[in-house]
Structure 1
Amino acid sequence: MARLDVRDIQPVNRHSIIHDEFEALEPGETLTIVNDHEPKPLFYEFQAEVERFDADGYEVERHAPDEFVARFPKLAA
C-alpha cells in the first residue's frame, strides 16, 4: 500500500501527482492519501476518468480538522 501526504504540495499540483502515484500501483493495491480537506472532488474525478479505480472500495476518515485520510483502491487484474 502506498501512502501520499499531499498537504504540503501546492493544490494546483496535487491531482496530477496523485494520478501518477495511482497509476504506478499494482492491480489490487491501494493508494492512501492524507489531505487537508475531504477529497470528494478527487473521488468524483477518479470515478469518471480512471477505469481501474474501485469506487466501491473508496474510504475516507477525518482524523483532525485539517487531516483526512482517503483510500483509493485499484481494481485487481
Structure 2
Amino acid sequence: MAATTLDLRDVPPADRHPKIHDAFESLESGETLELVNDHEPKPLFYELRAEVPSFDAEGYEVERRGPTEFVARLPKE
C-alpha cells in the first residue's frame, strides 16, 4: 500500500486541517496518508469519519513515538 507522509509539526494549527484534507483528497483509492503530528489527531479521526466517505476508519492507526510525536495512518478506500 502506497503512503504519502505529511509532517504537520511546523504547520500552524489553523492551517493543518485544510492541508490534510487536500492531501487526502489527492490520494488514489488504496493509498494512505501518514501524518506526523505533535499530538494524537483524535478530533481529525472523528471529522474524517463523519465527513469523508472514502476514509477507511477501520484501517486508521496511530503510533506514539515520543511525548510530542504521533504518527497517524489515514487510509483511503
Could you tell me how far apart the structure 2 residues matched to 1:71 and 1:10 are? 20
Q: TM-score, normalised by structure 1?
A: 0.97
Q: Which runs of 4+ in 1 moved over 3 A?
A: none
Residue of structure 2 equivalent to 1:11: 13
Task: Note the 1:25-40 alignment, pairs <5 A.
Answer: 25-40=27-42
Residue of structure 1 equivalent to 2:71: 69
Runs of 5+ consecutive residues of structure 2 not aligned to the other structure: none
- Amino acid in the other structure paired with 1:48: A
Runs of 5+ consecutive residues of structure 1 not aligned to the other structure: none
Partner SS, residue 71 of structure 2: strand
Residue of structure 1 equivalent to 2:26: 24
- Identity, in percent, stands at 67
Q: How many corresponding residue pairs? A: 75
Deviations 1:25-66 (A, max 9, x none): 000000000000000000000000001000000000000000
Q: TM-score, normalised by structure 2?
A: 0.97
